[in-house]
Amino acid sequence: MDEIENSGFYQYYVDHTIGIFPQNAAGVPFSTGTLQSTGDPIADIHEDLAAEQKARLTYDNILRLCKDEPDVYDAIKFLRARELVHYQRFGESLRIIQDSLDAKNFYAFNPAFDKKATCL
């Protein structure tokens, strides 16, 4: 208990004991307000692609900070590689969605609702 009090984590301990509570590096708790979903597969896949790149960048930054800690470095390097694979799979999904749409203008409608694009 002395270690928890001296480290400044006593307030965290009161609410969460030693359990994990999702928050960013600045201590801001996770909120679903950060999730983006439009219902349009093309827009949502682009959001997913961006999220994977942001996660990769975060892991890049962590790798720069923990280069002297091989156990941490290896774990973060694995997680970074996983983000790259996720990005590639989302990219493939985007291509599949686009291939099934009207090739002339696949941004003219929401494929989740509209059967066929109509010209204005």
pLDDT in tens, 48-61: 999 999 999 999 99
In 3D, which of 55, 50, 41, 49 has the Cα closest to residue 99? 41
In 3D, which of 104, 101, 64, 63 has the Cα closest to residue 80? 63
pTM, two decimal places: 0.63
Give me the numbers of helices (H) and strands (E) for the chain, helices first please. 4, 0
Read off φ and ψ for residue 91, nearest 5 degrees.
-60, -40
**Phi-psi region for residue 31, left (φ > 0), alpha (ψ -120 to 50) or beta?**
beta
The confidence score (pLDDT) of residue 113 equals 65
Distance CA 7, CA 30 (A): 22
The confidence score (pLDDT) of residue 21 equals 76
What percentage of the chain exceeds 70 in pLDDT? Answer: 83
Question: What confidence tier does 119 reach under pLDDT thresholds 50, 70, 90?
Answer: low
Residues 6 or more apart whose CB falls under 8 angstroms from that of 100 comprise 111
> Above 90 in pLDDT, residue 106?
no
What's the mean pLDDT in 38-51?
89
> Above 90 in pLDDT, residue 87?
yes
